[in-house]
């Protein structure tokens, strides 16, 4: 919950439902199109969504272990289940962002490429590296408990930092998802960061949790700065790419 906010429990519940319905394919549908700015008000719940996605991936990892699968297969199964849970939302954003930023130095052309539903070489390579790095990181962890903890932390933190980027950057377009989402309030963005931090500390321990979150924040900030320089701000695709960067870094940091 955003510090200092006097909204009632029903409002918090509706915002959490909106966050789940937007960020996952789980049955949290409200049946109504969210009003402009509603997603930004629900941004405090992004890391809560991440907790559930990480838990689902962790369950898949444990099932793989019980089935006697090789560690690489267990890791790939866990990543695949998280992608299915979110409908590949963030992976799609990563592919489109890399195609746009890698395909043209011109702002308008880069934005047009990002809107193109076709995936180019940069997008394919980014997806291969994203899946490969996540699978390799999970496979390198010492046991299932650590792997599940790392998954939960990675998904919570990578989503918990997104509202800060939305607060800090301007939308790259005057229309589209980023413009319609609105700008989170500072208390809402702070709440999301604090939830992500708490999860990281519990899941990874104080030292490793803080270090992993800082590194994830740096990676996401670098991507955000690149987007601001190249296209003047962020789009929904850029947020998806930032989430992927944070998740990957969190998982890699958990192996050290």
10 Å Cβ neighbour count for 215? Answer: 16
Q: Is the pLDDT of residue 184 over 70?
A: yes
pLDDT value, residue 35: 80
Average pLDDT over residues 13-25: 93
Residue 9: pLDDT band by 50, 70, 90 thresholds? Answer: low
Establish how many alpha carbons lie within 13 A of residue 138's alpha carbon, considering only the half-sphere containing its beta carbon: 36
Write down the pLDDT at residue 248: 98
Select the more confidently predicted residue: 178 or 121: 121
Encode burial over 87-97: b for 16+ CB neighbours within 10 A, e otherwise: ebbbbbbbbbb
Average pLDDT of the chain, as a whole number? 93
Condensed to tens digits (0 to 9), the pLDDT of residues 21-36 reads 999 998 876 555 678 8
- pLDDT value at residue 8: 58
pLDDT at 141 over 60: yes
Nearest to 150 by CA among 86, 37, 246: 246
% of the chain beyond a pLDDT of 70: 94
**Domain spans in the chain, listed from the N-terminal domain onward:** 9-26+35-254
The predicted pLDDT at position 6 comes to 56
Contact (CB, 8 A) for 231 and 131: no
**Residues contacting residue 148 through CB under 8 Å, at least 6 positions apart:** 54, 55, 58, 61, 62
């Amino acid at each position: 919950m955003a510090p200092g906010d006097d909204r009632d429990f029903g409002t918090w519940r509706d915002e959490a439902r909106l966050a789940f319905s937007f960020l996952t394919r789980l049955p949290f549908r409200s049946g109504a199109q969210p009003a402009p700015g509603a997603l930004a008000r629900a941004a405090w719940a992004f890391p809560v969504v991440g907790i559930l996605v990480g838990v689902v991936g962790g369950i898949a990892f444990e099932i793989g272990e019980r089935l006697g699968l090789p560690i690489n297969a267990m890791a790939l199964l866990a990543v695949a289940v998280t992608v299915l849970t979110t409908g590949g939302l963030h992976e799609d954003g990563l592919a489109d962002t890399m195609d746009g930023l890698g395909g043209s130095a011109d702002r308008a052309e880069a934005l047009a490429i990002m809107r193109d539903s076709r995936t180019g070489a940069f997008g394919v390579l980014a997806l291969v590296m994203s899946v490969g790095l996540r699978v390799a990181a999970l496979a390198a962890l010492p046991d299932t408990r650590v792997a599940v903890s790392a998954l939960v932390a990675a998904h919570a933190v990578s989503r918990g930092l997104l509202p800060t980027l939305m607060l800090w950057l301007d939308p790259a377009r005057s229309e589209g998802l980023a413009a319609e989402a609105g700008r989170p309030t500072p208390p809402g963005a702070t709440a999301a960061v604090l939830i992500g931090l708490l999860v990281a500390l519990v899941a990874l321990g104080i030292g490793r949790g803080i270090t992993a979150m800082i590194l994830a924040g740096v990676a996401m900030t670098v991507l955000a700065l690149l987007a601001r320089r190249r296209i003047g701000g962020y789009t929904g695709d850029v947020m998806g790419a930032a989430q992927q960067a944070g998740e990957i870094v969190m998982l890699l940091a958990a192996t050290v």
